Amino acid sequence: MKNILVIHQAAEMYGSDRMLYLTVTGLDKSKFFPVVILPQEGPLKTELEKQEIKVVVAPVLKVYRSMFTPKNLNRFFKDIKKGVSILDKLNKQYKFDIVYSNTLAVLLGMVYARKRKIKHVWHVHEIIVHPKIFAEAYPKLLAKRADVVICNSRATESNLIKRQPSLGKKTVVVHNGPAVSKSQTEAATKADFGFSEEDIIITLVGRISRLKGHKWLLNTFSNYLQQTRAKLLLVGSPVPGQEFYEDEVYEIVQAEGLENKVTVLPFTKSLKQVWNVTDIAVMPSTEAESFGLVALEAMLVKKPVVASNHGGVTEIVVNNETGFLVEPSNESDFAQALLKLINNEDLRNQFGENGYERALSEFSPEKYIANISRILQG
């Protein structure tokens, strides 16, 4: 039995949160005992505890852009002391064999593993390009402070090794493998969301942020798709403190007269009903994302995907087979791909079936858990 100290950045149910849930609940309980550290209460904590996973709320030393001020640095060093104290009490009880840091955003695992000389596995879910100081610093930290670096895609691995070649000796790629939803939520109809059955629903699921491509999608829709049967469904909330991104979305909707064409909903942990009414899933990230979990989840429910042709999503979506990969921020390219699917139901269905088969064969949760387990056993 290996006792594992798992440290994660949030208690929500977005991409990395869902993969954290799958990881700790999927591990063989006869071989692994995980204790999860989260920075606050939230739906992830609730769901983990339903599965009898021990969860402790503590400072995780989360990195954020405004941390380099005297006030925030002072708080950071106080959190180090508090976090280490909490982990020492847990370590006295469980004698951890491994510290597992999930995402680059948390530094407590790095600090504690070094302090107590415990093996440190760091699971990277990000491609960081800027700020430049972070982009250059993280590969160096990983080289010095991680025993094993798990990358969620080849794109993630490449970004790190390009900056710190020595990481090639300790990185391993494990693609995410979300499970097919078994939610008991009743199926939804388009009418439940205020749409008509004739509407073609284009859905973007993800935080309203700088890089998710909401503005690119809205501008493409306004300039090319207003006369079609398409309507947009945007599902997600902004990061606390970054509500101005959501304001920008509403400003475009109002300025372009799209109030009857665009529906914006807060994020929901159960997306079954959202996918029920979706005809086309989009992932129009304007910056390279490390994986593309939303694209894979859409494929698991037989939806064609139109995504940006960069980052980890290019390892998921096969162009002209399970969807389309388009030039980032190119409205014309994006619109042409969407129009092909809007105007061809057979193509939507064929891409959906192809995507489903690919998701099951290449990105199964069983394969994911087996790979993670092998690393932790080592």
Residues 318 and 354 sit within 8 Å (Cβ to Cβ) = yes
Residues 6+ apart with CB under 8 A from 171: 149, 150, 151, 157, 160, 161
Query: Does the predicted model carry a pTM greater than 0.85?
Result: yes
Q: What pLDDT, on a 0 to 100 scale, did the predictor assign at position 71? A: 77
> Residues 286, 308: contact at Cβ < 8 Å?
yes
Q: What percent of the chain is predicted at pLDDT more than 70?
A: 97
pLDDT digits (tens, 9 = 90+) for 83-129: 999 999 999 999 999 999 999 999 999 999 999 999 999 999 999 98
Mean pLDDT of the 26-46 span:
97
List beta partners, residue 102: 8, 123
Q: What is the DSSP pairing of strand 148-151 with strand 200-205?
A: unpaired
| Predicted pLDDT of residue 263 | 96
The domain ranges of the chain are 2-178+364-377, 190-362
Residue entry with tokens 């403190």: 241
- Position 14 scores a pLDDT of 80
- The per-residue pLDDT for 184 is 58
Specify the CATH superfamily of domain 190-362.
Answer: Glycogen Phosphorylase B; (3.40.50.2000)
| Whole-number average pLDDT of the chain | 94
Q: Which residues contact 2 (CB under 8 A, 6 or more apart)?
A: 31, 32, 33, 97, 98, 376, 377
CATH topology identical between 2-178+364-377 and 190-362: yes
pLDDT at 183 over 70: no
* pLDDT given for residue 179 in this prediction: 73
Q: Rounded mean pLDDT of 327-344?
A: 98
Please enumerate in sequence order all residues whose Cβ is within 8 A of that of 243, keeping only pairs 6 or more positions apart, or say none.
none
CATH 3.40.50.2300 corresponds to the domain 2-178+364-377: no
